[in-house]
Amino acid sequence: MADSSARTRPRRVTAPPVEWLVMTERASTEPSVFTRILRGEIPGEVVLSTDEVFVLQDIAPKAPLHLLVIPKTDAYRDVAELAEGDPKLLAHMVEVARTVATQAGYDSFRLVFNTGLGAGQTVFHVHAHVLGGDASEDTMTAGMAGEGRDA
């Protein structure tokens, strides 16, 4: 008779290594939250739209002005990929960032591109944070993993 203990014995479950999780995230083909907002699948407060980008009110603002400038294409995961693949689109994002900041009354503003998990990036569809008013350094780094190593 076969020994069934191997089937009934509890198996030790270990968490996958971080690298495995990162690879899974990178391989994801799910539309990003921004693409879903653009498609009208989930709500979002879009304050401006051009042929190539749209501007979204951040759902959890870290400063009196906190907008996100987002390309309509989801082809680029972060600003480094975008700079390499379509520098004109990156320049357009910066131009739109200046426009919306100025329109909101902020001649001075901060432009933040969290790049990589270790820097606190949570949505892997490139976007620029446009921050106006009192935004301290730590507000934009609250999600940082600490080691700055994520691949």
Q: Decide whether 111 or 123 has the Cβ nearer to ligand AMP.
A: 123
Residues 67-126 that bind ligand AMP (CB under 6 A): 68, 114, 120-123
Interface stretch with ligand AMP, choices 7-15, 19-27, 52-60, 86-94 (CB under 6 A): 52-60
Interface stretch with ligand AMP, choices 53-61, 84-92, 93-101, 131-139 (CB under 6 A): 53-61
Q: Decide whether 59 or 94 has the Cβ nearer to ligand AMP.
A: 59
Break the chain down into helix, strand, coil percent, rounded to 5: 35, 15, 50
Cα of 123 vs its chain's centroid, Å: 3
If one asks whether residue 132 binds ligand AMP (CB under 6 A), the answer comes out as no
Q: Quick check: 61 and 129 in contact, CB under 8 A?
A: no
Closest CA to 99 of 83, 11, 91, 14: 91
Minimal distance, residue 117 CB to ligand AMP, in Å:
9
Rounded CA-CA distance 52/48 in Å is 11
Minimal distance, residue 126 CB to ligand AMP, in Å:
9
Residues 2-41 that bind ligand AMP (CB under 6 A): 33
Q: How many CB atoms lie within 10 A of CB 42?
A: 11
Distances (CA, A) of 145 to 32, 47, 89, 100, 149: 21, 31, 29, 31, 8
Strand partners, 111: 130
Round the CA-based radius of gyration of the chain to a whole number and report it.
20
- Binder of ligand AMP out of 38, 55, 56, 100 (CB under 6 A): 56
Active site residue 125: no
Binding residues for ligand AMP, per CB under 6 A? 33, 44, 56, 58-60, 68, 114, 120-123, 143
Catalytic positions = 127
